[in-house]
Amino acid sequence: MFKAIFTNSFGILLSRILGFIRDLLTASALGANIYSDIFFIAFKLPNLFRRIFAEGAFTQVFIPAFARTKHKAVFSVNIFLTFLSIILLITLIVNLFPALFTKAIAVGFNAQTITIASPFVVINFWYLPLIFTMTFLSGILQYKHHFATTAFSTALLNLSLIGALLLSRNQEESVIVHYLSFGVVLGGVLQLIAHIIAIYKLGLMKLIIGGVKYLRVKSITIRQDTKKFRKNFFPAMWGNSTAQVSAFLDTLLASFLMSGSISYLYYANRIFQLPLALFAIATSVALFPKIARYLKNGDDIKATQNLAKAFWFLAFILTASTIGGIILSQEITWLLFQRGEFHESDTQNTMAVLQMYMIGLLPFGLQKLFVLWLYAKELQMQAAKIATISLVTYITFALLFISPFGVAGLALASTLGGFISFFFTIRTFGIKNFFAILRSKNSIYLGVGALLFTLLLLSIHSYTIHFII
């Protein structure tokens, strides 16, 4: 298990390092203004659909269904063609009515800004069908316990965007956004090619070719499997959608605030997502196929043992990350972004948002671990209900906090939604089962370690803050 976690973590780390270089160059070239907001809006829309249709709900339902079906080739190709057709249709509609979709995600933009942003939305949206195809191939690779290609391929997107920024140096801001948009599509093409090569090298191309060849003949044999997949997918889609709807509402509400607010959310969230992806998501991705197989075979004990190991690994890592992120938020933001068009005031605003996000790192990360148990048990409906409660919590607090706290209030509302989601996920998993994991010497080690680490960072902070000021 830990070998797979290390592979995922190392790949994500490489990608995130490149991602921070990309963000550093973007902040230097565009700063935090209307053009940076436009690019983040244009890139957010395909990512919204990607996380709903592709990486989230699709993977979480596809892997257990793929493990269960006796007709893997035909089943997988049938599911792939169905979803690709839907995604291509959505892409076509966005291409026909780009202003409508841009307005939907950035209501606060005026008509002139919508007109400027719409062409970039069209270009960026072609990333979606490319990344869905990659996600489908990734699901098959994960079932075969091959994680490296998916973990490292995200770096290709960041390399593509870094190349676009270097090529567009000293150009007008609108030209830079054009280069970035085409860089997104090129990154999607490169990621897809990497997965096709991995599928071919592992001898899995026969499975896909066989599925295409016998799809029409054997489509009846997979009727029950596809019916169950659809039944589980839509609750899973909604469960995964709520986090993306929250991000969508973040952007929508931030578009009513001062210029640059969308960028502050983006930059702070990028920092917040580093430990979340590096540890929580990497662990969940590595653990999910194994948990699904254990539960499918009725071996709940081994499944729980693996879950407990992963829990303590995440508890220590994410607690340290939370403490570090809150105490050193100003130093981190200053070091990463404050240069070029990104000024000291931008650092202060981004820092405030980052602190609010970091408060929720531990519940967000652990929730991702426990929710995979629900998906492996095919309890998608329960997960969807929990996600709905979390979304309602977020909306309520976002509307309450946006006026007194501004953009930082939106991040705090997201964090409170994370706490609620974690509580209800644990309740569904089983309070007794959860406390059985907590009854360990690790709880004492975690408390003492957190206190000592906090004191250490406070002393470091007292020295570094004078240097920054």
Q: How many CB atoms lie within 10 A of CB 120?
A: 25
Percent of the chain with pLDDT over 70: 92
Candidate ranges 142-156, 226-240, 243-257; pick with highest mean pLDDT: 142-156
**Which residue reads 């404050």 in tokens?**
338
Q: Is the pLDDT of residue 79 over 80?
A: yes
Whether 420 shows a pLDDT value over 90: the answer reads yes
Name the band, by pLDDT with cuts 50, 70 and 90, for residue 27: confident
Q: What single-letter DSSP state applies at residue 83? A: H
pLDDT of amino acid 49: 64
CA 283 to chain centre: 14
User: DSSP per residue over 56-77, as a string?
Assistant: IHHHHHHHHHHHH-S-HHHHHH
Residues, the chain = 469
**CA–CA separation, 397 vs 420, rounded Å?**
12
Inter-residue contact 51 to 244 (CB < 8 Å):
yes
Residue 160: per-residue pLDDT: 93
Give the integer Cα–Cα distance in Å for 15 and 339. 22
Angstrom distance (rounded) from CA 213 to CA 413: 50
pLDDT at 251 over 80: no
Mean model confidence pLDDT for the chain: 84
State the pLDDT at residue 131. Answer: 87
Q: Compute the Cα dihedral for 225, 227, 231, 234 and give only its sign.
A: positive
pLDDT value of position 415: 93
Ranges of beta strands (E only) in 303-363 are none
Give the mean model confidence (pLDDT) for residues 388-410. 91
**Cα first-last separation, the chain:** 45
Residue 469 has pLDDT above 60, yes or no: no
C-alpha span between 66 and 25 (Å, rounded): 41
What does each C-alpha distance from 61 to 4, 58, 285 come to in angstroms?
Answer: 20, 5, 13
Which pLDDT value is given to residue 177? Answer: 87
The secondary structure element, H or E, covering residue 389 is helix 380-405
Any idea which of 104-118, 295-309, 331-345, 363-377 has the lowest mean pLDDT?
104-118
Contact 427, 374 (CB under 8 A): no
Burial readout 180-212 (b: 16 or more C-beta within 10 A, e: otherwise): bbbbbbbbbbbbbebbbebbeeeebeebbebbe
Task: Give per-residue pLDDT as tens, 270-279.
Answer: 889 888 877 8
The kind and range of the H/E element at 223 are: helix 223-254
d(CA 50, CA 52): 5
Q: Determine the average pLDDT of the residues in 36-64.
A: 71
pLDDT in tens, 157-194: 889 999 998 998 878 888 888 899 999 999 999 999 99
Q: Where are the domains of the chain?
A: 2-468
| Cα dihedral 279, 285, 289, 291 in deg (nearest 10) | 40
Question: Are the beta carbons of 307 and 373 closer than 8 angstroms?
Answer: yes
Mean pLDDT over residues 317-327, rounded? 93
Residue 52 banded pLDDT, cuts 50, 70, 90: low
Whether 459 and 327 have beta carbons less than 8 Å apart is answered as: no
Q: Residue type for 117, please?
A: A
Q: What angle do CA 91, 180, 258 make, to 5 degrees?
A: 90
Which segment, 32-41, 255-264, 333-342, 364-373, is predicted with the most confidence on average? 364-373
- Tell me the per-residue pLDDT of 289-302, one tens digit each, with 9 for 90 and over: 778 777 777 777 88
User: Which pLDDT does position 4 carry in this prediction?
Assistant: 62
- Closest-CA residue to 101 (of 112, 88, 117): 117
Least trusted range by pLDDT, from 77-91, 294-308, 378-392: 294-308
- Confidence check: pLDDT of 467 > 60: no
To which H or E segment does residue 439 belong? none
Q: Which two tokens stand for residue 301?
A: 């004990």
Q: 135: pLDDT confidence band, cut at 50, 70 and 90?
A: confident
Reading the block at residue 136, the tokens are 């489908």
pLDDT digits (tens, 9 = 90+) for 206-237: 888 888 888 877 777 888 888 888 777 777 77
Other C-beta atoms lying within 10 Å of the C-beta of residue 262? 28
